[in-house]
Structure 1
Amino acid sequence: MSNHPPVSTIEKEVGRRRSFAIISHPDAGKTTLTEKLLLYAGAIQIAGSVKARKASRHATSDWMEIEKQRGISVASSVMQMEYRDCIINLLDTPGHQDFSEDTYRVLTAVDSALMVIDAANGVEAQTRRLIEVCRARNTPLITFINKMDREVKRPLDLMDEIEEALGMSVVPITWPVGMGKSFSGVIDIASSQMRMFKAGEDRIGHQADQLVSVSDADLKNKLGESLETALTEVELVQGAMPSFDLEAFLNGQQSPVFFGSAINNFGVQEILNTLVELAPAPKSRSTIQREVLPSEKNFSAVVFKIQANMDPAHRDRVAFLRICSGYFERGMRLKISRNGKEVRTNNALSFLSQRRDILDEAFPGDIIGIPNHGLLQLGDTLTEGEKLQFTGLPFFAPEIFKMVETADPLRTKQLRDGLMQLGEEGAIQVFKPMLGGQMLLGAFGQLQFEVVAHRLKSEYNAEVRLLPARYSLSRWVSSKDPAMLKKFINDNSHRMSEDVVGAPVFLAAHRSELEVAQQLWKDIEFHALREHAGLVFQKDLLS
């Protein structure tokens, strides 16, 4: 049994926690900013890398082999760091839209989000989708407008665009002076001081003290018209936009905006300070049974991500847990609410991307890893015994389907094992036809199929062929009447599959087939979203 610390200790530790995700469109500079935040917090010494044996550099948060080859993030990474007596849990998300489902699930595990926008491109398509998820959850959002050292859109135009996309008010905390080659720095609006920019300045601390009053005569002579323009814009913005309101920010109704250049370390310190000073500590979370407070004595956590083969030498699967309440101590006995099974916690992990450390203790807001062999599923709740089920973890009906077969019939077992593991971690959705035959893969974009094929070959030694499938949409099915659900499944068995948790799925080649089924079967509910809780499926129902 765990030796629980007093509630006052848990409350104090909860107050120190800041858990946030970085979201953006691809190429907005998200991974660079992630690196620089780690650098400023002292978590790494070299920006751009964990050094490989051949001294090739890759971003700390991009550890999967295909990410290194393509230079994109396709898996979410977890990193913990300490800054100004706060414990910051940073979750980097895939920027590529094909991996949006993984990003949506990560956003359920954080208390705030940092949105990175490319100042040249403004608010792009993928950013808009992620904003919708944040808005739906009222997630507090900090905005960082990146790449001001390039030729970009006018800051006033960017503010209008972001406000329109967010559907909430935006409040600039800093304001840029110039852009591209004439970018001179940012004005701190509250203090009327300017932080000077020096291109290529990548050593920590060099810019922290370069603050000059905007009324300084030498500064006005040096910058001339660009400073005058910036000050006029600040005046316009202050007249047209509301002042910063902490309560509105915490309720997801207002976003503070910062300008900078992540690659030059410019504006990074302000972001870290804002996270510590303004971003929320962990709050209460909903379960089907009740509301769970972070300061409760007893431990509870939810599995929001599973990653297979983080260490290729050990063929492991790590379940990432967001701690929601209580105190975690290595070796404590935890139970899965779904089936009552016990989980071992002797090898619990903390993370700095691919660097893993055995963890002795953790508190609400922290992200911990539990290595396991298929025992834990996405959405599982772990407690010290109380039966709870956290809500809100989404699974979306995929939009593209492929049949999968092995290039070598002798590798069929490896293919099935690999697909089940990749399906369980949410890398792709895997469907097993109820009448037998080839496994089906469902995804949101072509790149998901490419990544899965690559991983099957490199991690499971199973080379595959992906073939066109005749289906174009799917729906999970349920009914209040188990006998009616069983009859529906039997009568439509040629279109029925099971997903990785045994939930029944109806597949259709055209929308008209779905519409006909909905008209004929009034007692059956068709779901485009399967949430782990709230839509519960039992395998034995189908036996």
Structure 2
Amino acid sequence: MTILNMFKCNMYLNKLPRLSSLIYHKNVRLMASYEKYAVHKPIEKIRNIGISAHIDSGKTTLTERILFYTGRISEMHEVKGKDNVGAVMDSMELERQRGITIQSAATYTIWKDHNINIIDTPGHVDFTVEVERALRVLDGAILVLCAVGGVQSQTLTVDRQMKRYNVPCLAFINKLDRLGANPKKVLNQLRNKMHHNAAFIQLPIGLESKTTGIIDIVTQKAMYFEGEFGEIVREDEIPQAHRAEAHDRRHELIEYLSNVDETLGELFLNETAATEQDIKGAIRRTCLKRTFTPVLVGTALKNKGIQPLLDAALEYLPNPGEVTNYALKENSSGKSEKIILDPTRNGDKPFLGLAFKLELGKFGQLTYFRCYQGMLKKGESIYNTRTRKKVRIARLVRLHSNQMEDVDSVCAGDIFALFGVDCASGDTFVNESKLNLSMESIYIADAVVSMSIQPKNSKDRDNFAKGIARFTKEDPTFRFAWDPDNKESVVSGMGELHLDIYAQRLEREYNCPIILGKPKVSFRETIVSPCKFDYLHKKQSGGAGQYGRISGIIEPLPPDQNTKIVFSDETVGTNVPKQYIPGVEKGVYMMCEKGLLTGSRIAGIKFRLQDGAHHIVDSSEFAFQMAGQGAVRQVFETGVWQLLEPIMAVEVIVPEEFQGTIMAQISKRRGVITGTDSNDEWITIFAEVPLNEMFGYSGELRSCTQGKGEFTMEYSRYTPCTPDLQEKLMREYQESLGDGVPQPQQQKKKN
């Protein structure tokens, strides 16, 4: 809204007494904020923070309150969207309907003359890549914990991600107003389950419905949040009933800090009273080193504890200049050396930025960037260090959820976005083509669930292709592939919800209804024992006919080669002319594409061509190709065949308390335990399980481990499947072919 339009609007609203005053002040506040955003502040006045937690811990609600109290938005809305508006950061319709965050969203705001860039991330493990790439570019984080649920599965995952990128964090125990809230229990879980050196720096005044305020242990003040939306913070003396606990917790805080901070440790040993500034300095130093985690409390839904949390983020979390970031440069010997980046905001250094997220916006592809060094201005050109492509910057924007605000330049420490940049997530960009620098990319987890996918209507194939191409580019954990064995498209992702969300997005955004189903397992058919063949292909018609005769042996390959097909020409003389041998080989490979047991590919065989015969006129390469097919078909009817199934190497990571349950699960799925490894109350179980038994395991694992279990799997080898499974698959295949189809003679004998 322009200043003129805002002025006209306010003149009209002056006719409405109270509402006019309220809206006027909100508009003035927002207008003042917009003017401030355009100003480049010193590096000390910048904070890049992420809000991460387990699902349904209140991350998006907390972000909504932060934006309201900092004047970024004029009204607060709830996550579930009961008023048909929903939270600002949940801009996708699916997010508002389901009440969950699916995509990470970026915004920026101002608090006490500091620019704060915020990324709100999903809590569900299926969208963990959104958390991964957010933490990759952030300098600090707020770890939100539910006062009832405490440390949950995704809390542990997020903590591992923070350790991976060395991100300092504050812990915020949310939902004090919920029935059963117990922040002391959550603190113990932080210490015991996550091994954090943590202590309260705030205490609640009352719990559940009696939550009235919080106590700041460092300043020894009580804070109450008054006004219609808790926007007025009133400081007072600590209530008499809470003074003893506040004193004890302050002593505990100093003790925990003294263990990891030398300065405060000396004061503690000398029995010198620590001042407020001594404690704050120690918290900041240890928080930046990740040796101490300050624990704050509040309830975002009831508007309590948000302003002190913002103060703590400014006071204890690092600015971009306090974080050491590296770029890799390849030297003359071919090895990479680390180059420390300069985060000063004077623009003297060459620009270097990392593309950490891609998204299709209204005006084309939107690429999220973090600037690590130098300055970038609108109209300049940048280079992709991976592809060496040059891109001119026509539009430079800062993001507020799904809204964009144009800026003329960005500096080191800023998070921004560009349009029309063709790149991949994790690419590095510079403004000088000679700079051969690249930043460490983002860790991408392997997909754990696969499902077959196809559009309901064949006429939607173009939209289907467009949607899949977009989603696989935006989300590196969402993968699409064509399975030539089973002639079906397969999508892979981090969980069933992950794939279900993309199926719904294809229908909503591309008008392409989708059918998701369990993918077929790629079985193989192989021969059990050597079998001789002698096959004559003869066809006579008017003119030249077809004639080709071959003989030899088909035998099984060793188990370590049972996925291969070997063709061996052992002929001597001219009974089978050499120019016809490629025809025989082609016929064999064509016949091996589809076996007669279950329609699976034939593998693990060696075709030994030993002899044959030809006709001077009627023989041709095509005739011997047909002879090769016939020979395989003949051996199939006379030999003994079996099915092979893929075996996966599975690695399951669970807390030790669930070890027995998980081992029983694996055995039930025909798995074999090959080893275990214990580490910090967590156990890793190594096993080999048939792929056909692994479908649905992701949901079962999460349900029986309270969401704490994770697993990965990769292909190991093919082994013979059980007789009952082979019989079942053969029966299903014959039924799918319909009545009247002759079965192989050998299988009739066996059955």
TM-score for the superposition, normalised by structure 1: 0.78
Q: CA RMSD in A?
A: 3.3
Q: Does 1:249 align with 2:277?
A: no
Alignment equivalent of 1:439, drawn from 489, 496, 501: 489
1:262 positional shift? 1.1
1:286 counterpart residue number: 326
Deviations 1:427-452 (A, max 9, x none): 75223348594332111111111110
Query: Equivalent of 1:510, from 636, 645, 648?
Result: 648
- Per-residue deviation, 1:409: 1.4
SS of equivalent residue, structure 2 residue 156: helix
What is the CA deviation profile of residues 422-477 of structure 1, one whole-angstrom value per residue up to 9, with x for unaligned ones?
A: 011017522334859433211111111111011111222222211212469xxxxx
Distance in 2 (alpha carbons) for counterparts of 1:93 and 1:347:
26
Task: Provide closer, same or farther for how the CA distance between residues 366 and 509 of structure 1 changes in structure 2, counting only shifts above 3 A.
Answer: farther
Amino acid corresponding to residue 495 of structure 2 in structure 1: G
Aligned-partner Cα distance in 2 for 1:47–1:139: 29
**Aligned partners of 1:245 and 1:146: how far apart in 2?**
21
Instruction: Provide the rounded CA distance (Å) in 2 between the counterparts of 1:109 and 1:456.
Output: 29
Secondary structure, in 3 states, of the residue corresponding to 1:297? coil
Contact 1:102 1:427 survives alignment (8 Å): no
Please tell me the residue identity of whatever aligns with 1:358.
Answer: D
- Mapped contact 1:430–1:439 kept (Cα < 8 A): no
Per-residue CA deviation, residues 90-134 of structure 1 (Å, 9 max, x unaligned), is 000011121112211111010011011111111111111101111
Distance 1:413 1:11, change over 3 A: closer
Q: Give the 3-state SS of the residue equivalent to 1:419 in structure 2.
A: helix
Identity of aligned residues (%): 25
TM-superposed CA distance for 1:62, in Å, is: 0.2
The one-letter code sitting in structure 2 at the alignment partner of 1:71 is G
Bigger helix fraction: 2
The structural deviation recorded for 1:141 is 0.6
1:415 pairs with 2:456 = no
Q: Distance in 2 between matches of 1:394 and 1:118?
A: 27
Displacement of 1:306 in angstroms is 1.1
SS in 1 for 2:204: strand
Structure 2 counterpart of 1:463: 513
Equivalent position to 1:322, from 365, 370, 379: 370
CA deviation digits over 1:407-429, x for unaligned, max 9?
A: 12122122112111101101752
- Which deviations, in whole Å up to 9, do the C-alpha atoms of 1:498-518 show, x marking residues without a partner? xxxxxxxxx966225956469
Cα gap change, 1:164/1:365 in structure 2, threshold over 3 Å: closer, same or farther? Answer: farther
Structure 1 stretches of at least 4 aligned residues deviating more than 4 Å after TM superposition? 434-437, 512-518
Q: CA separation of 1:425/1:490 partners in 2, compared to 1, >3 Å: closer, same or farther? A: farther
Match of 1:38 among 44, 47, 67: 67
What's the secondary structure of 2:50's corresponding residue?
Answer: strand
Residues 217, 246 of structure 2: 8 Å contact kept: no
The one-letter code of the counterpart of 2:191 is E
2:358 corresponds to:
306
Query: What is the rounded CA distance, in whole Å, between the counterparts of 1:152 and 1:119 in structure 2?
Result: 8
Give distance in 1, aligned partners of 2:520 and 2:313. Answer: 48
Aligned counterparts of 2:483 and 2:389: Cα–Cα separation in 1: 28
User: Which of 381, 402, 407 is residue 451 of structure 2 equivalent to?
Assistant: 402
Instruction: State the match for 2:413 in structure 1.
Output: 365
**In structure 1, C-alpha distance between the alignment counterparts of 2:180 and 2:248, rounded to whole Å:** 16
Say yes or no: does 1:98 pair with 2:126.
yes
- Structure 1 pair 307–393 and aligned structure 2 pair: CA distance change class (3 A): same
Maintained 8 Å contact 1:428/1:448: no
Q: State how far apart, in whole Å, the 1-side matches of 2:564 and 2:131 are.
A: 35
Query: Do the aligned partners of 2:225 and 2:304 also contact (CA within 8 Å) in 1?
Result: yes
**Which of the residues 19, 30, 42 maps onto 1:13?**
42
Q: Secondary structure of 2:328's partner?
A: coil
2:427 to 358, 380, 391: 380
| Matching residue of 1:523 | none
2:301 match: 263
Change (3 A) 1:444 1:434: closer
Q: Which amino acid aligns with 1:211?
A: E
- Alpha-carbon distance between aligned partners in 1 of 2:68 and 2:48, rounded to the nearest angstrom: 17
Cα distance in 2 between the residues matched to 1:297 and 1:49: 44
Inter-CA distance 253–68: structure 2 relative to 1 (3 Å threshold): same
| 1:153-212 alpha-carbon deviations (Å, 9 max, x no partner) | 4433221111223322113211112211332322111221111356x85142x22xx212
Shift of 1:398: 0.4
Secondary structure of the 2:490 match is strand
Match of 2:229 among 202, 224, 244: 202
Q: C-alpha distance in 1, partners of 2:186/2:458?
A: 55
Report the Cα distance in structure 1 between the residues aligned to 2:99 and 2:299, rounded to whole angstroms.
Answer: 20
Does the aligned pair in 2 maintain the 1:76–1:93 contact within 8 Å?
A: yes
Change (3 A) 1:325 1:351: same
Q: Which structure has the bigger radius of gyration?
A: 2
5 Å matches for 1:151-166? 151-166=179-194
Question: Does the 8 Å contact 1:420/1:430 carry over to 2?
Answer: no
Match of 1:112 among 140, 147, 150: 140
Counterparts of 1:327 and 1:414 in 2: how far apart (Å)? Answer: 39
Matches of 2:204 and 2:374, distance apart in 1:
43
CA 1:351 to 1:49, structure 2 compared with 1: closer, same or farther past 3 Å? Answer: farther
Could you tell me which amino acid in structure 2 is paired with residue 303 of structure 1?
Answer: A
- SS in structure 1 at match of 2:508: helix
Given that 2:181 and 2:208 are in contact with CA atoms closer than 8 Å, whether structure 1 keeps it comes out as no
**Is 2:71 aligned against 1:24?**
no
Q: Which residue of 1 aligns with 2:660?
A: none
Return 362-371 or 281-290, whichever deviates more: 281-290
Q: What amino acid sits opposite 2:452 in the alignment?
A: M
State the partner residue of 1:231.
246
Which residue of 2 is the match for residue 453 of structure 1? Answer: 503
Local SS of the residue matching 1:318: strand
Distance 1:305 1:442 in 2: 20
Q: CA deviation at 1:401?
A: 0.5
Q: How many residues align?
A: 465
Structure showing greater relative contact order (alpha-carbon pairs closer than 8 Å, 6 or more residues apart): 1
> Aligned pair 1:63/2:91, yes or no?
yes
Q: Partner of 1:402: helix, strand, or coil?
A: strand
Q: Please identify, of 20-29 and 285-294, the stretch whose mean Cα deviation from structure 2 is larger.
A: 285-294
For residues 368 and 332 of structure 1, what CA distance do their matches in structure 2 show?
15
Which of the numbers 218, 221, 236 marks the counterpart of 1:212? 236
Shift of 1:55: 6.5
Which consecutive residues of structure 2, in runs of 5 or more, have no partner in the other structure?
Answer: 1-38, 259-281, 330-338, 523-562, 566-592, 594-599, 601-644, 650-687, 691-713, 719-751
Q: Describe the shift of the 1:298–1:238 C-alpha distance in structure 2 as closer, same or farther (beyond 3 A).
A: closer
Establish whether residue 176 from structure 1 lines up as the match of residue 225 from structure 2: no
Segments of structure 1 that go 5 or more residues without pairing to the other structure are 1-9, 473-488, 496-506, 519-543
Q: Which amino acid aligns with 1:280?
A: P
Q: 2:400 aligns with which of 345, 348, 352?
A: 352
CA distance in 2, matches of 1:443, 1:19: 29
TM-score by length of 2: 0.58
Corresponding residue number in structure 2 for 1:529: none
Say which SS state the counterpart of residue 60 (structure 2) adopts.
Answer: helix
Measured after TM superposition, the shift of residue 89 of structure 1 is 0.5
* CA 140–377 in structure 1, closer or farther in 2 if over 3 Å, else same: same
